[in-house]
Each structure stands twice: as structure tokens, then as C-alpha cells.
Structure 1
């Protein structure tokens, strides 16, 4: 006789506390089998030393050890296509319900539909919950039901709808003994799934009252120590809950920090309503741009060898650490699209490969903003001057010197393009495409 269980499927929620779907599973009347699937559909596209995968694996092992030490349980690990894993689980257990938190990316939506059908065909409930956002899907829309495509009205409506008195933290600790007791659940090392431990580490996040208080003054200067929170990867993989971060923003009464968290949800709802934007311009006429797509110049950009120090510092920081300051991200993206006339999708794909905090909705949204093709986008004639940006944001060259060791050497390249000529060329090409 198979054991009756409910399953909780960890995904973008790699934490025990304040995890809504996990709590709902634990409160049910059957023991909970927690699982994580190293999805081969995703992993097959990653380099063998991917830093994000190392972070995910280490985080899950720590969670599993905590469950083992304190609750005689653990997480069951699998490496396969999710549909195949669930077929196996259905054969091995008498599964009654599967709990998970919702994911809004196009691939995740297709995956979950196929899982839902399989489970329904086997009389198993598939229960999903809102966890990684405060508002999802169509919860914040215009009065006519259409989605917002400009940030400020979205933010204003978000705040109108937000009721801080209902913002609660969902503590799971009282229910953790409802987990299935350890019966040698499958574990996997990095090598078991074909990967190696990365030398690049995800740093801890820093969200102190001091950081939040000074956030507006410090966040635009990439050389400032502790000027940004480092929250990106932790929100992306759910090692921290968004509700706890919103509570901190409210407690410190910092509108700018709060607004950054709302930006994240704005881009998520854009991708939900317009899933094609991960591949196509939100403004279709921008897909008429005749990109130059010079591969040699793309390599120079990727390797931080454009001859423009702030651009190069950003790219070298990205390649060495998996991080890049947000102000610099805007510049390097603009430079690629407008100075070099290289398709924003090339840059988006490279960031997807390198960024520790890669999140499709924000990455696509920001790249389309830089290219002028997205929602609430910078107008195409707004072209950052990569030299004057230094004067504004790194006037003492602290950030540049940190990442470009050869800045004063003969080895540092000359600019691969003249700013004035590139600007004029960009204006001409864009105008021809969008007029």
C-alpha cells in the first residue's frame, strides 16, 4: 500500500518561512513530501559552472539539512523534465494534492499547464498560490480592465490597492513536523547533474535601516560601498520574501526603496499580459530597425574592451562577479543598442547568461527600455553620452579603477566608435524605422 502524501514543489521560493504555498501544504491533513526538480529543459542550456545553479544547490542543501536536523525530514531532489518526475512520483506515492507557488514566465506557464493536466488525469489536485509578488496578473489594471503600460500610473494604483494592515508574514515553523519523515529521499550533488561548483558567489543581501534611509542618495553611484541592497538574486530565487522587504520599506518610510520593489511587479505583469515581449518589441515598429549586429564589436562590448571606461568597467564587473550596478546597466545597454546598433536581444541573452539576479521580466523590460522599443521606454533620441556619465556618477573614477586595471596602460583600447558619429547614425537608422 503506497503512502498517502501531499507534495510541495519548491521553485522560486527557496526558503522555509513566509512561504505561502508551503504553509498551505503543511496545514493540510496529510504528510508533506517537499521536492525540487533540477529541470533538464533549463539546465541543458547552462554552462557547467553556472553560479546561479551553485547558489540554488547550496541553498537547497542547507534547507534540507535544517529539516533533517530539526524535523527528521528533507527535500527530495530530481533531475529530469518536470513532467517525467511527476509521472514517477505518481507511481511511487499515493499523491492526493500538489502544492506550489505561481511562476509567471512563458515557459513556466506552459510547464505548469502540462503538469496540471497530468495530475487532473490522475485525480490529483494542483493547488497554486501567489507568493513572489504582492499583486499578480490582472490585480492591478486600469478601470477598463486593460493593463498599465506606464510605470507611474501603475505604481499609484498599486499603492491605492495596497492595504498594509493585511500584509502578514506566514510563519511555517509551527507546522514543520507535518513533513514526511525521512525515508532516504533522493539527494543529488552538483556533479550528479553534470555541473561544477562556481567560483562566483551570491553575496548576502543588506537591508538595514541605514541603507534604506540613504538609498535615494547612494543608489546611483556605483563606487559607493553598501549603496545598494544586493536583494536581486534573493528575490529572484526566493531566499527572502517580498512581504518582509515591503514591511521594511514601510517601516523606514522610504518611497524610493519601496518603488524599486514595485518596479519588479510592474515588469512581471507586463510579461504576463504580453508574453511575446521576451522575443519581440512591445512597439512593433521597432522590430523594423536595421541592426548592424557587428560580431566583432559585440565581442568587444562583452569583454569590456570598447574604449569607453564606464561601459567597460560595467562589463568587466559582470564577467567577474555576475553583478553590475543598475545605473551602469542602463549605460551599457544603451551603448550596445544605440552606439553599436546591435539588437537588444543579443544583450538580453548575454545578461541572461551572466547575471546572478537574472529575471526574465525585468531583464526584457529594461533592455526594451534602453532600446526604446518597450513599455514606458526612453525615447529613441535619448542617447547616453558614455563620457559625461562618468562625470555624473563616477567623477573620481573609483568604480572604473576598481574594474579596469589597465585604464592607464597602452593595453587599454581606443574607443571602437566615435560618440558623435554613432549618435547621428543611430538617430538616422531609428528615424527611418519608426517614422
Structure 2
């Protein structure tokens, strides 16, 4: 008798998993698989904390699957080659996947889908990582929203509670015990950086506390949403109606996902072409100081050091550090976006790109180019007792700490003049 395959990707959980539920409700035994994609792995350092996190989640999943006398078949290679080998080994009739909306994933899934179809194998894909996918929240004329607030209003208007999905009472898994490869087996080693457990217990105070990095009161849920260790329906089910600010952050995530889907050029181009004429300085020495947290601006430097040490940065500080790079240093947002992509545990192309273009003023619904954060005032406002910066900059307020690499007033005027000149060049 044939089998159905459930392909784990960005949905590393048993509960509240749409495609997995559909596969288990079918008549065939379900074989869960995971593919360590060499196309992605070859771009990563050998101690990448995100690969370690994925591996840890696979270990947990395998432990849970043992209850059903099953396990994950974990493979490594280029996906198309892995699937070519799989169909030679198993009598696969159906394949189930949850949709992924990033450009590489769309291309990959198209290739795999065409291959499986050519072999008479049905592939079933489902919406899972979002409440509303790319074309469900659109304007009356069917075009995508490019401004957040009307998108959010339409999202809220259309939203109805989606209860989290539970496993069927008798999950129909394929009974087999596969040995999970070690981290070293797939060519990686352990990282000193780890993904924290998420915590929604303090969500009642989110609106009040979210802008103060020294409180360390955020939920840390973003990498768990990124890799699907928790379902979006499960998260929203834990919110009360008054948690509108936290819900807005989740809606921003879906907004940027649909922007990336409809406007894939944003990956390496400005969303707004009128900014294509900006002449970035792109000073490599300045960029290195920013990366190391040695700009002389404590709020910027604390954020960068937090990122380098932990793979995380508080959201308010992300706005300050990214704005400083683009405006004060006049370094192309793509440089910063790429650096964050290497370091962030919660890196997600759509959100990272969207937020960097927001900071640079080049994106959809972006902060206007003339809005330039004063990092000194931001420090006074959001870390008044210097708790956050003392934690990450032990030499702060000593002769070892550098002087500001650029005067704020000078940097602001230079940015305004450069942006204006760039816009005039295009127009």
C-alpha cells in the first residue's frame, strides 16, 4: 500500500499544523520528512544558531512521534535530488505541504510540484503560517494594499476566530524508526547562541512596556513564528480583545509577506523607485564600526552588540540602529539588511526587508526620509537610567568608549541634502 508524505519546512510542530492535519485525515499512512536544503545551508556559517534550533526542534518532534511508533525521515541535499531518490524508495501517492511565500520557496515548490505531478503523485498545499495569505486582503479593485493602516483595518474586518487545529484522535503515522542525524552529521557544530522560549504571560503590559529595551519584557515569539514551532492561530487564540498593539505587530508580519509576494523586486531594489538616485557613501570602515557597535552612540552600539552576542535585538533599537546606518552614515539599507539576515534568529526575508526599507524611507508606507531619529534623545527617552546600555557596553562612560563618529546635526543635514538630491535626479 502506498504512503502519504508530509514535508516539514517552516512548521516544526505537531499541533495546529494545517497540512499535517489534512494528511493524517486521509486513508494512507503518513511519513513525515524534513530536508536540510543544501542550497540554503551552503550560505551559512558552521555554527549558525538557527540550524541548531531547527535540529533541536526535530529532536523534540521525533520524541513526540515515538508515541505513535513513528519518526521523521531527515535528509540532506538539494530538494529536487532528494525527491528523486525518495520516489525510488517509497510508493508515494500524495504529498502534503504548508505554503511558503518567499521567492526561493515559491520557485523550489514549483519545481518539486511539477516533478511529482510528472510521476503521477498528487501534491496538496495549504495556508498555515498566516491568517490571510497574499491575495485575501486586497483593495476593492483587487490590487494589493501598499499602506499598512487600510490593510490592517480590512484584516480586522475580515478576521474571525480560527481555532487551533488538534491532532486526530488516532494519528495515522507510518510506523518506522529513523535515526535522526546529529548536528555534526549535517556539517554544523553547536552555537553558543540559542533561541529563547517564548512567553506570552506578560502580554497584558505589552503596549505599556514594548518601547523600553531595558525591561526585556518582549515575548521572544518571533523566531518561533519564523520556524513554525507555534502556529499563528494558537498565538492569536491566547490574546484578548484588548491586545490590539501586539496583534498589530502580527498583522505587520502578514502585510510585509504580501508586499514581498506582489512586489518581489523589493528583495534587492527600492520599493519606491524615486529613491534610486540616492548616492550612498557606503564607507566600509564606517560600516564595520556600526557592525561592531563602535559608533560612539550608546543606543546604537548596545543594540548591535546585543545582536552580535544573542542573535536578537529589541524592536525599538532595531529602528534606531537601522535609521542611523541609512541616515547618519548614508550606507545603503541593503548592507544593513544583509547583516541582520546573517545575525537575527528571527530573520524572515519579508519583515527584514520591509523594516529596513521603512527605516531608509524607500519602502511602502515608510517613515518619510526627513524623519531622522536623534539617537541621543532616543536614549534619554527609552533608557533613561542607562540600564540597557550598561549591560551591553561595559566600557561606556570611560576613555575606552569611542567618541561619536558623526555629529548628529551634521549627519541629519547631510542626509536631508543627499536624499533631496537623489529624488531630484530621478524626477
TM > 0.5 fold call: yes
TM score, norm. by length of structure 1: 0.96
Task: Using the TM superposition, give the Cα deviation of residue 431 of structure 1 relative to its aligned residue in structure 2, in angstroms.
Answer: 0.3
1:79 to 57, 76, 85: 76
1:396 corresponds to: 385
1:53 corresponds to: 51
TM score, norm. by length of structure 2: 0.98
Secondary structure in 2 aligned to 1:214? helix
Secondary structure in 2 aligned to 1:136? coil
Q: Deviations over 1:79-124 (max 9, x none)?
A: 1011111101111011111101000000000000000110011011
Q: How many angstroms apart in 1 are the aligned matches of 2:155 and 2:183?
A: 41
Q: Do 2:25 and 2:168's aligned partners in 1 also have CA atoms closer than 8 Å?
A: no
Q: Do 2:8 and 2:97's aligned partners in 1 also have CA atoms closer than 8 Å?
A: yes
Secondary structure in 2 aligned to 1:223? helix
1:215 to 186, 206, 210: 206
Q: Deviations over 1:242-284 (max 9, x none)?
A: 00111122x3521111111111111111111111101110001
1:125 corresponds to: 122
How big is the alpha-carbon RMSD for the aligned residues of Structure 1 and Structure 2?
A: 1.0
2:272 matches 1:283: yes
Q: How many angstroms apart in 2 are the aligned matches of 1:307 and 1:340?
A: 13
| Structure 1 unaligned regions, length at least 5 | none
Task: Using the TM superposition, give the Cα deviation of residue 66 of structure 1 relative to its aligned residue in structure 2, in angstroms.
Answer: 1.7
1:254 to 243, 249, 273: 243
Q: Do 1:282 and 1:375's aligned partners in 2 also have CA atoms closer than 8 Å?
A: yes
Q: Deviations over 1:165-216 (max 9, x none)?
A: xx1221015242x11101x4352111111100111110010101xx221111
Secondary structure in 1 aligned to 2:381? helix
Q: How many angstroms apart in 2 are the aligned matches of 1:29 and 1:186?
A: 26
1:355 to 336, 339, 344: 344
Secondary structure in 1 aligned to 2:229? coil
Q: How many angstroms apart in 2 are the aligned matches of 1:85 and 1:394?
A: 50
Q: Deviations over 1:282-302 (max 9, x none)?
A: 001212211111000000000
Rate the CA distance shift 1:175–1:275 in 2: closer, same or farther, 3 A.
farther
Please list every run of at least 4 consecutive aligned residues from structure 1 whose deviation after the TM superposition is greater than 4 angstroms.
Answer: none
Secondary structure in 1 aligned to 2:196? coil
Q: How many angstroms apart in 2 are the aligned matches of 1:175 and 1:253?
A: 37
Q: Do 1:213 and 1:252's aligned partners in 2 also have CA atoms closer than 8 Å?
A: no
1:150 corresponds to: 147
Rate the CA distance shift 1:175–1:278 in 2: closer, same or farther, 3 A.
farther
1:170 corresponds to: 165
Greater displacement, 151-160 / 402-411? 402-411
Q: Do 1:27 and 1:175's aligned partners in 2 also have CA atoms closer than 8 Å?
A: no
Matches within 5 A, 1:92-107: 92-107=89-104
| Structure 2 unaligned regions, length at least 5 | none
